[in-house]
A and B are shown apart, each in its own frame.
Chain A
């Protein structure tokens, strides 16, 4: 049980978005996060990242309270890919990847890990192209690659499949599955694309009217979601 929460309430000071709930997530699991616009999916991610303070309760990573971790330590555990990211257009792909590590020189092992991520996402031929020349699918892959450079064990995806065509979505499903199975990453995916989620997720969390329903049976969770 690597990530767990006890009686947590997240949201904003004047507007809590959920009633207190508890959870525990095993590492290597993929969690689908569904709910209407404004229900608090992104706020939950921001809370984990430390951008929004937790209103009450405790969240623990490997037994340590997140409150006791510094900003940098927190960002080593979690990385978040927002639905839209503002990346300077003229940057080349390899720059986006190296910038996310923040170093002047890279050790051999770091360099080979970078090459591994580049291979995983098939980005070799794009490395020296500027970002603005890429298609939406390629841009998304570059953003994911930059995220993976940070090697954090928990990854938060906000609408990763948006703008992607079917074949790119399938490729992304493979990458996400690979990350969870091979690398043991814990992955949260917030999305409205139920087909995409069905293909990836092990567990479903639904935020509905400040309640959180945690369901291991994806099909029935989606069916209930549809009924509303």
Chain B
């Protein structure tokens, strides 16, 4: 007969194998990303740049961009997974709480309502963080009054629409240059962060990851309904903590890179599909690595190294993410293994 020990051992081996594969994929994509592009840097030069130009391009452009892609992919997938657990809904992502819409509103105000200071990105980032945090606070001030999580979700969506309406008004009255600047921000990019900013967001993500990982057993208990009814206090505390953590991560990522679409919804689903496991002990590290791998891949595709043009990152992540989501919907409606 199958003993529970054999099953657990099998799961562990499968998880380790996939982690190894993902690390390998990230390494390969990273080397590709560093070596492909219009600057004509060869594969060998990635490891030892032959001239100052190559060194400059790598240090100032490609390495920060690669690190950003890895970081943002990991961060969005992480907060997507956390929110999918909180709302017990695999189709939820970092954008549902209205946090990225809040960020958009902040950036729209800066670019289109004349609060911009020349070409500096700092006011945009500042406004995006300020507004997305305000949305989070607003959400929490009303969330305490509801019995269930679905209400939080609905309020989050309504806040999104509200922010969208204000942004529409701004778009309607603003001039072409400002409109273009806002639109470009909305397409998302991995080339906007410097080393200092990367360090800040990476530290935040690390802290958030540790906090959530420490709660992995509680998250598992939440999934089997053990926190319902008699553990309501612990459940509320857990949900508050998880939403705040996911919210802050989403706010910072969106502020620096724009609203990156679908990674946050698609990657946790893809990880669950690949591993066929729901234990957060495995899902958390797995999702973070898969997110990083996919983001680097999307960035590589969006740079279109075979041509002189490049695509907005959001277009690529959408093209990649939406089929996965559609597939997941079919899969979950279809009663099969």
Q: Which residues of A contact B (CB under 8 A)?
A: 46, 49-51, 80, 82, 85-88, 90-92, 94-100, 102-104, 106, 111, 114-115, 118, 124, 127-130, 132-133, 146
Q: Which of A102, A129, A133 contacts B220 (CB 8 A)?
A: A102
User: How far does the alpha carbon of A80 sit from the alpha carbon of B2 in the complex, in Å?
Assistant: 28
Is A87 within 8 A of B223, CB to CB? Answer: yes
Is B229 within 8 A of A82, CB to CB? Answer: yes
Q: Which of A49, A91, A104, A132 contacts B230 (CB 8 A)?
A: A49
Write out, one digit per residue, whether chain B residues 225-238 have a CB within 8 A of any chain A CB (1) or not (0). 11011111000000
Is B7 within 8 A of A128, CB to CB? Answer: yes
Q: For A127, what are the chain B residues with a Cβ–Cβ distance below 8 Å?
A: 2, 4, 7
Q: For A130, what are the chain B residues with a Cβ–Cβ distance below 8 Å?
A: 337
User: How far does the alpha carbon of A92 sit from the alpha carbon of B226 in the complex, in Å?
Assistant: 16
Q: For A95, what are the chain B residues with a Cβ–Cβ distance below 8 Å?
A: 220, 277-279
In the complex, how many residues of chain B place their beta carbon closer than 8 angstroms to a beta carbon of chain A? 31
Task: Return 28 A-B CB contacts under 8 Å, by A number.
Answer: A49-B229, A82-B229, A85-B228, A86-B228, A87-B223, A87-B225, A88-B278, A90-B90, A90-B332, A91-B223, A94-B4, A94-B8, A95-B220, A95-B277, A95-B278, A98-B4, A98-B279, A99-B226, A100-B224, A100-B226, A102-B217, A102-B218, A106-B4, A111-B3, A115-B4, A127-B7, A128-B7, A132-B335
User: How far does the alpha carbon of A98 sit from the alpha carbon of B278 in the complex, in Å?
Assistant: 11
Write out, one digit per residue, whether chain B residues 218-256 have a CB within 8 A of any chain A CB (1) or not (0). 101101111011111000000000000000000000000
User: How far does the alpha carbon of A96 sit from the alpha carbon of B218 in the complex, in Å?
Assistant: 13
Least Cβ distance of B134 to chain A in Å? 32
User: How far does the alpha carbon of A130 sit from the alpha carbon of B5 in the complex, in Å?
Assistant: 18
Identify the closest chain A residue to B90 (Cβ).
A90
Q: Which residues of B contact A (CB under 8 A)?
A: 1-5, 7-8, 88, 90, 217-218, 220-221, 223-226, 228-232, 272, 276-279, 281, 332, 335, 337
Q: For B218, what are the chain A residues with a Cβ–Cβ distance below 8 Å?
A: 102
Is A106 within 8 A of B8, CB to CB? Answer: yes
User: How far does the alpha carbon of A58 sit from the alpha carbon of B1 in the complex, in Å?
Assistant: 47
Is B224 within 8 A of A99, CB to CB? Answer: yes
